[in-house]
Chains A and B, each alone.
Chain A
Amino acid sequence: MKNLTDYEIIESVKKGNTADFALLVERYKNRAFSMLKRMLKNEPEAEEALQDCFLKCFNALSDFRTEAKFSTWFYKITYNTALTRLAGKKRKIEYEMKSLDDELNLTASELGSFEQSDFSEFVLSLIDKLPVKYAAVLNMFYLNGMSCDEIADVTENSIANVKVMLHRARTLLRELIEKRDLKRELL
């Protein structure tokens, strides 16, 4: 079966072949779900939000400009949908008010609980504790393979801001890993 491009699928859907939209869903659902789960910190809610994203995407397909990249446009819808949901539940305010350092100020006992766990699991668990926008940037950069340019477009930030968020998140993860390794050495 010929591997259709995003634009070919969109053109087909615009002509009335609604069933072809399922191809786009299959192509993007996992990455979008991963991003939503990291931002909303809740699996059932992430799935509901994912449905909303695809429905919004379908309804707005007629407005999609083919010179733009579909993935960037879709992830923008996903990102904004997550923020809207968080704003509705007031959790967004909590997450934005917390500083990056507060959020990851793990106590000695919390660090200790990660001692025995696999290093990768440790890093992943830390990402889940990051504030929403930092988790989203890390997810888009590492999982979706997006450039800082594209991430800036999705998050409506400058490229410099995106880089700062990426660097700060990485630096903090590094500091926590150093703390963990230091604790291990002392014990």
Chain B
Amino acid sequence: MNHLTDDLLNKIIDGEASVAESNFATSHVPTCASCAEKLEAMKKVHANLLTLKEESPSVNFTAVLMGKLERSLKRKKQQKYFVSFIFALFIILILASLGYLISISQFSLSFSAESGKYISEYVNRYSSVTDDLRKLISGRSLTMIGSVLSMGIIITAYFFYNNHKTFKNILK
């Protein structure tokens, strides 16, 4: 004799039983006490699950959360300003260095009717520029520029890494 399977019981509860299955259940249940009990128990489970109630977190949950959110946004803004400041400092340093190089070199060239004289004058000016450049990037100047650049790179890299980590956590 066929009885109601667990699958059929669930289908009846979910209203997904076919016409044939429903007819079978309707005709079988009155004749089989065991299946009648199973169906009754399943309906009880379903009815009780429908009465599941929501639970609430603590009373000040929203206020605490919004406070955290505000602080997090403020921190992000400060980080953004700091990174922009470092970047701007870089640009200024680079522009200042370029400006200095340009100012120490003399680009005005006097033209001579004789091409040979023109070329040697050009070579002399080029040598003086390279001499000045050599003075700029030697010794203490080089150390100072290197230190500033390294510090800036490290700080910027830290903030980029931090932002990348935060983004990865969001994706998780």
Interface residue ranges, B against A (CB under 8 Å): 6-7, 9-10, 13, 37-38, 41-42, 44-46, 48-58, 61-62, 64-66, 68-70, 72-73, 166, 169-170, 172
Please encode chain A, from 65 to 97, with 1 for each CB lying within 8 Å of some chain B CB and 0 for all others. Answer: 000000000000000100010000000000000
Which B residues are in CB contact (< 8 Å) with A19? 66
* 8 nearest A-B pairs in the assembled complex, by CB-CB distance: A30-B54, A167-B10, A123-B48, A142-B49, A171-B6, A174-B41, A143-B52, A33-B57
In the complex the two chains form, is A167's CB within 8 Å of B7's CB? yes
In the complex the two chains form, is B69's CB within 8 Å of A55's CB? yes
Interface positions, chain A 142-180, Cβ under 8 Å from B, are: 142-143, 166-167, 170-171, 173-174, 177-178
In the complex the two chains form, is A47's CB within 8 Å of B6's CB? no
Please encode chain A, from 42 to 63, with 1 for each CB lying within 8 Å of some chain B CB and 0 for all others. Answer: 0000110011001110111000
In the complex the two chains form, is A58's CB within 8 Å of B54's CB? no
Q: Which of A21, A51, A54, A124 lies in contact with B52, CB distance below 8 A? A: A124
20 of the cross-chain contacts (CB-CB < 8 Å) are A18-B66, A18-B69, A21-B66, A29-B61, A33-B54, A33-B56, A34-B54, A34-B55, A47-B58, A47-B61, A50-B61, A51-B64, A55-B69, A127-B49, A142-B49, A170-B46, A171-B6, A171-B9, A178-B37, A178-B41
A171 to chain B, nearest CB (A): 5
In the complex the two chains form, is A51's CB within 8 Å of B65's CB? yes
- A106 at interface (Cβ–Cβ under 8 A)? no
Residue of B nearest to A32 (CB): B57
B74 to chain A, nearest CB (A): 11
B69 to chain A, nearest CB (A): 6
Which B residues are in CB contact (< 8 Å) with A173? 45, 49
In the complex the two chains form, is A177's CB within 8 Å of B58's CB? no
In the complex the two chains form, is B38's CB within 8 Å of A178's CB? yes
In the complex the two chains form, is A119's CB within 8 Å of B44's CB? yes
Which A residues are in CB contact (< 8 Å) with B166? 59
Which B residues are in CB contact (< 8 Å) with A47? 57-58, 61
In the complex the two chains form, is A25's CB within 8 Å of B65's CB? yes
In the complex the two chains form, is A170's CB within 8 Å of B61's CB? no
Which A residues are in CB contact (< 8 Å) with B7? 167
- New A-B pairs, 20, CB < 8 Å, besides A33-B55, A142-B50: A19-B66, A21-B69, A25-B61, A25-B65, A25-B66, A37-B55, A46-B57, A51-B61, A54-B65, A56-B170, A60-B170, A124-B52, A138-B49, A166-B10, A167-B6, A167-B10, A170-B10, A170-B46, A177-B45, A181-B41
